[in-house]
Structures are given as structure tokens and as C-alpha cells.
Structure 1
Amino acid sequence: MLDDPQVLTPLIPQRADPHLTRHVDGDGRARYFFTASVPEYDRIELRAVDAWQDLPRATPRVVWRKPDAGRWSELIWAPELHFRQGAWYLYFAAAPSREIVGGLFQHRMYALRNRSPDPMAGDWEFLGQVDTGIDTFCLDATTFEHRGQLYYLWAQKDLAIPGNSNLYIAPMRTPWQLAGAPVMLSRPEFDWECRGFLVNEGPSVLHSHGKVFISYSASATDENYAMGLLWMDEAADPMDPASWTKSPVPVLTTSPTQPVFGPGHNSFALDEDGRTVLLVYHARTYTEIVGDPLWNPDRHTFVKHLGWTADGMPDFGDAGLA
């Protein structure tokens, strides 16, 4: 992956919104599972490897393809794979068409389930829409457990708030159904969150150093794309917005040293030692994009180690350096 010990190159080309999971099965075997948005936006694929460095050579398995028509028949975005309550779940966003209405696509969020111990085997069951109780554009769902409760975390449009999307959280009754009303945790408010578009999206959760961290992405999906951070004490209530502190400055931006532009939509995973955190994100290696950046396929997956400051805060470093 590295041409130079310090300079990052893409691990997987043309895979945006990357999600990497390290899972230890009942026999103690640890494997990595990878999924991401494909440039055609028409399917969900998985890769499985013993070592994450082998992902470029892994053969993807297509586990679901969009139907030809219907509410989830276009623009399959940002799949995430999670093992919850004894089964595998894939969360993704899809739209009924490529039509833009009121300045936005018409995505809603959906879930698939596989009861096999191995997500690369077995059958994927379509569970339908994950209903948030708000019928507006929404996407980028993730789930996390905290103190025995499963939570859903995602991005959604509020018609009363300017911009494309804010971040919301809700408790879950099942891995595909919410158990309570959504609570907004963050909205675009700083200049770096409002370049090109007013956006908060792509949340990812990390538990470490006595805190719960939520990274997220903001602004347009060009070189302005950047990552922000929320955090709370692990003893706090995640459903209380007052529990969370929001960084007023971005934590990962276009590299000042390398041709790595617009880093964002990340996930976290553990390295093979089971302790060191991997930071997984997409970025572009050039800025001369013809037309809408959404249709440009060259958002590539990068992987690097996450650093830590002396006071227990994540140090994302330079998007172009290991």
C-alpha cells in the first residue's frame, strides 16, 4: 500500500464510503469484511480477508442487486455491515429514481439480514425500510451498542433547517426497527461544514479512552469534503444532546502535503493486534472533476493508523500520510 513509509496511496481504487469490520467468530478466528459504494450505485458487494492489507486482491461477492423499479431501485449508497444480536445486517440508502426534488435526491434507508455465521455465505433477506418517523431524504446509517442498548445513527434532512442533512440518533427495538423518536446531535453550522453544501453525514462510532466518539463528514463531496468530531463521556446518555461536545474545527481535511483531496465518510476497525485503531476513509487524488462530483468514480479507499493525543483524543493526522 505504501510507496514511501510515510506517503499513503489508495488501498482500493474507486470505492467510496468504505466500511471495514473486524469480526471474531465463535472459533476465535478474526476476519475483515469490507463493503463500500460502487461507482455504478447498482449493487452491494462484500470482500473477506484474514489481513486487511489483502483486500485489494480479494474477490468481491455481490450479495444484493437493486431491482429494476420501485422505491429502492436507484442510487444504492453507503452500505455498512454489522453483526447484531446473532445475525449480520447490511444498512444502505436507496432512491426510487435519479430525480432531484427540492434540491435533493429521494433516498430512504433500508436493511438486509443474513442469519449465516459467515456473511459471505447464506442468503440475504430484504427487511424493508428503516423508518425514522420522518419522511425526508436520509442516508448513511450506522449502529452501535452502548451500555447494553443498540442505537441507530444517521443523516437526515429537516425541512425547517437549511441544508442537506443533520445527524440523528435513536434507540433500536430490533436491529432494523427504532424504539424511540430521533434526537438531533449535530447540524451544519461552521464554515467548513457549509462549503458547496450544508452537510453533516457519514457518522462512525469509536469507543476508546473512556469516551464515545462520533466522526462525520461535511461540505460538498469535492476537495472541500472534511471530517468533524463529536464526543461524550462513556457514562453519559447518548440520547441527550448536552452529553456531546462538538469540535469547532475539522479533524481531517484535504492534505496540505500530498495529492489527497476531500477525505471523508470514514469507518473505524481494529488492526490485527486487536488494539490499534484503523482509520478507513475515501478521498480523491485530483481536483479537476468534470461535471457533478457525485458521478466521478475516483473516490478511493485509504487506510491508516489513528493516533492519540496525550489527553486521550483521536489524532487523525494528515490525510495523505500514514
Structure 2
Amino acid sequence: MKIMNPVIEQRADPHIYLHTDGYYYFTASVPEYDRIELRRSRELAELSTTNEIITAWTKPETGPCSDLIWAPEIHYINNHWYIYFAAAPNREIKDAAFQHRMYVIGNESENPLEGEWRFLGQVDSGINAFCLDATTFTHDNKLYYVWAQKHPDIRGNSSLYIAQMKSPTELLSEPVLLSKPEFDWETRGFWVNEGPSVLKRNGRIFISYSASATDENYCMGLLYADQNADLLNPENWHKNPEPVFQTSWEKRIFGPGHNSFTQTKDGKQDLLVYHARNYTEIEGDPLWDPNRHTCIQTLSWSEEGFPVFGSPQTQLSIE
């Protein structure tokens, strides 16, 4: 089966989750940054045309989460659905623009397109500063939270942190710094580490992330730790000194990043989900250009057990 990229147009920061019910659940930033959209389909290729689509949550007119709704992610934890997202106060308030914090909504229905999505509040990291792009994963019966946040003592817009969670809405441990912008490819335009996504394979915990400005310089890096290591000890995490996924000028796929991982239904093939543009001529701030499109491609593995991202492709082939 072949799937052509982009799979879904004008959907940035894509997150696809394959649930035990056989559905692929999809959410992403919408160009208006005003709501959280959720859709599902039996097949990846049908995510762009499915009629199973809802608005799970719409921003209020005022308050701390009334503007710039970014990068929602859907997770299934302890038999409940959660969507984590970043939001800021209304830009009309002085000095409020881009003061994002992380929030979460929840749904107790078996089908998250039904029932009620309830606002559960802020996920407080303990650092009172700009933060975004949270994800969660479970390992050794412990729930972990990984996110991007600005720190007053670290140069740049955001670095990556990890903490253990007490519940899906509350942290148990203090934030631990995993990675900060330091290499040339992480500091083009902006000093950024953001958009973490977790993949557990071959005895290791992998965290991919995105770096630099959201134009053609946007690219992806990789962290990894042994699955038996203390994940809250930063010395146990290793950082690839080179980007693992970046712009393909040949294919005209620019600024690939802010990825998530999913797989084929038989579990035999890991898939990389990301957004990218097909041009570089962006007028003004790239953030307001709506044409970051959702793309999917296969992820392969080296003999040493590391993910091989390759280069962006125009189509996905699944056997």
C-alpha cells in the first residue's frame, strides 16, 4: 500500500496514536490555533478524508489558556484519554503573548470522539516560564513526562526536561534537564530543543526532538538511554551530535520535524510522523504560515539497534 505525502495538509505538530481498538487517532495544531481537533480512521490513508472528526475543546475568550493553542497530543493512560497541549493568555493583554504553559483535558469514554472532554487544568512543571510540547510514556510501571521549557539560566527559547508523574495531571519529581541547544544545527534562527517524542526499542529509550527555527532550518535530534538506567539521572542520557532528520532540498521537503511515532497494525513496521513545508519563500514569521503539512514514512533500524530516519520522502510504502 502506498500513501502519498503530505497525508494531511495544514496540520502541524502531528500526533498519531494507534489504539487497541484498531483505530488511528490523530490530533495536531490547526492554523487558527484556537481549538483542539481530534479525528480517527481505520487506515492511515483515510485520516485526511474521515468523517469521524470532532472539536474536543475550544479556547475560552479570556484567561491563561485563551490563545495560541499548540501541539496537542492524545494519550491513553489508566483506561482514560488525555490530551496535553500548550496555551497562552490572550495576546491583547500586555506582555502576555507567547507566555505558554502546559494544560490537559480528559475523557472517560471508551471512544474519545464521544462523551465529554473536561478541562483538567495546568500541568505545573515547577518552573514558572514558557513551556510547551509535553509528551508522556510509561516504563517499569512508572509514568514519565517529557517537555520543552525555557529556563532563565539557559540560553535559548527552550530545553528538554523529564520528570516522573504522580498522576496524568501532576508531577511527582523535580524537573531534570535532558538537553539544551548547543550544536550549530540546534541554534539556527532560534536556540531551540522542543517537540520530544518517545520510542522504546531494542533495550533503549529513545527521545527524538526538534531544533532551530521553524523554517527550512528545522530539523530533528536524538537522545537515548539504556532501558535499565535511572531515567531521571541526566548522566544516563546520550545525545547524538548530528541531526537525524533534516530538510531534503532534492525532494523539496523543508523543515521536517515535531514528530511522533506510530506503527502498522501488525506491529512489524515503525512509522515516523512529522510536519514539513514544500517551499521556503515564507512571508513574515514562519509561525503564521499555515502550510506545515502532516507526513508519514517508514522508520528502519540499524544492526546496532538504533533508529534510521533517512531523509524525507514523498510517499510511504507499506507491505
TM-score normalised by L of structure 2 = 0.95
Identify the residue that residue 233 of structure 1 maps to in structure 2. 226
Amino acid at match of 1:277: D
Matches within 5 A, 1:98-177: 98=91, 105-177=98-170
Does structure 2 retain, via aligned residues, the 8 Å contact 1:95–1:105?
yes
For 1:206 and 1:101, the matched residues in 2 are separated by 40
Match of 1:11 in 2: 7
- Asked if the contact 1:51–1:272 (Cα under 8 Å) also holds between the matched residues in 2, the reply is no
Aligned equivalents of 2:252, 2:201: Cα separation in 1: 30
Question: Residues 114-160 of structure 1: CA distance to partner in whole angstroms, max 9, x if unpaired?
Answer: 01111111101111100011110000000000111000100000011
Partners of 1:224 and 1:320 lie apart in 2 by 17
Work out the CA distance in 1 between the residues paired with 2:59 and 2:110. Answer: 24
Q: Secondary structure at the match of 1:92?
A: strand
Q: Deviations over 1:89-116 (max 9, x none)?
A: 0000000023798897100000001011
1:70 maps to 2:66: no
Shift of 1:58: 1.2
> What is the DSSP-based 3-state SS (H/G/I as helix, E as strand, rest coil) of the residue aligned with 1:306?
strand
1:90 is aligned to 83
Is the partner of 2:194 in helix, strand or coil? strand
Name structure 1 gaps, 5 residues minimum: none
Cα distance between partner residues in 2 of 1:104 and 1:257: 37
Quick check: 1:30 aligned with 2:22? yes
Q: Which amino acid aligns with 2:12?
A: A
Q: What's the TM-score, normalizing by structure 1?
A: 0.94
How big is each residue's C-alpha offset from its partner over 1:199-219, in whole Å with a ceiling of 9 and x where there is no partner?
000000000111110000000
- Residue matched to 2:254: 261
Task: List alignment gaps of at least 5 residues for structure 2.
Answer: none
Residue correspondences, number: 314
Q: Provide the C-alpha distance between the structure 2 equivalents of 1:18 and 1:90, rounded to a whole number of angstroms.
A: 13
Is 1:81 aligned to 2:77, yes or no? no
Match of 1:286 in 2: 279
Residue matched to 1:317: 310
Match of 2:39 among 47, 60, 72: 47
Moved over 6 A (4+): 99-104
Distance 1:100 1:318, change over 3 A: farther
> What is the alpha-carbon distance in structure 2 between the residues aligned to residue 76 and residue 288 of structure 1?
25
* Structure 1 residue aligned with 2:290: 297
- Other structure's SS at 1:214 match: strand
Of stretches 151-160 and 54-63 in structure 1, the one that deviates more from structure 2 is 54-63
Task: Describe the shift of the 1:16–1:22 C-alpha distance in structure 2 as closer, same or farther (beyond 3 A).
Answer: same
Letter in structure 2 aligned against 1:23: H
> In 2, distance between residues paired with 1:43 and 1:79?
10
* C-alpha distance 99-202 of structure 1, shift in aligned 2 (>3 A): farther
User: Aligned in 2, Cα 1:245/1:103: closer, same or farther, shift over 3 Å?
Assistant: farther
1:249-296 CA distance string (max 9 Å, x none): 000000142010000000001112123111000000000000100000
Instruction: Give me the whole-angstrom Cα distance separating, in 2, the residues matched to 1:103 and 1:246.
Output: 34
Q: State the distance in 1 between where 2:72 and 2:96 align.
A: 23
2:267 is matched with 274
Q: Residue 42 of structure 1 contacts residue 65 of structure 1 at CA under 8 Å; is this kept in 2?
A: yes
Equivalent residues of 2:24, 2:43 under 8 A apart: yes
Aligned to 2:47, what secondary structure does the other structure show?
Answer: helix
